[in-house]
Amino acid sequence: MKGWQIFRHSFNLVMTNLDQALRLSLVLYLLQSSYTIYSFFNPPQMMEFDGAQVPVMDPSTILPTILLGLLAIIASLWIAVAWHRYALTGETTSGWIPQFHGSAVLGYLGRSILIGLLIMLAVVVVSIPVGIISIGMPGLAGVMTLALIGIGAYLFFRLGVMLPAAALGEKLSLGAAWDETKGESGTILTLALIVVGASIIVQLPSWFNDDPTSVINVVYSLVVNWFATIIGISVLTTLYGHFVEKRPID
């Protein structure tokens, strides 16, 4: 199955270049994770409103939360651009912070927003008949939710080849991105199911933790999310390298 080959190639890309993966992303990932860590030590207050418990932020934490959120976005985009460029062009770093490519980061952000909006629109449209089916057959609600997640992941990987192109400073339109993966719907769907399934599996230990806000759970989530982040970026890299640049994945 080519979908499995793409995932395996992406996983191996990280494992065989783990030193560079850490050099390119570790410091930036810690910056990205500062939002999670701050939120852990400054949880919102729970207040009752119309009989329901509603989280309310302390006014003193609003500004730091916004600033750390912006920092997390910049750091995540920086990591993505750096890893794409390393995997596709061999651009490395001898230190612990990769070169910042401002135009590529902005292009990556713009295309990410565009893809996100299109996926959101598609999921909303599909959720209407799915919701009707779920009302008539409540037992299928869970399956329908997973189907919506799968559709979102499928569309993301079909259009996501635009993102590595942005990291390289190349122009790749939505139509061109869709055409590059034409005829590979089965491969993309299989890949989407593998990625979603792997994400669920690695998160299971934290879900079964009696105290989801425990330090152990936060540390576990940070470590797992680093691997998920780098491997996810690698999947997009592999898709671009294989379907756009016609590189082998064997």
As to burial, measured by CB atoms within 10 angstroms (0-12 exposed, 13-18 middle, 19+ buried), residue 124 is exposed
pLDDT for residue 3:
87
What's the whole-model pTM score?
Answer: 0.87
pLDDT digits (tens, 9 = 90+) for 30-85: 999 888 888 777 766 666 666 666 666 667 777 888 898 899 999 999 999 999 99
Task: Return mean pLDDT, the chain.
Answer: 86
Task: Specify burial of residue 5 (Cβ count, 10 A radius: 0-12, 13-18, 19+).
Answer: middle
pLDDT of residue 182: 87
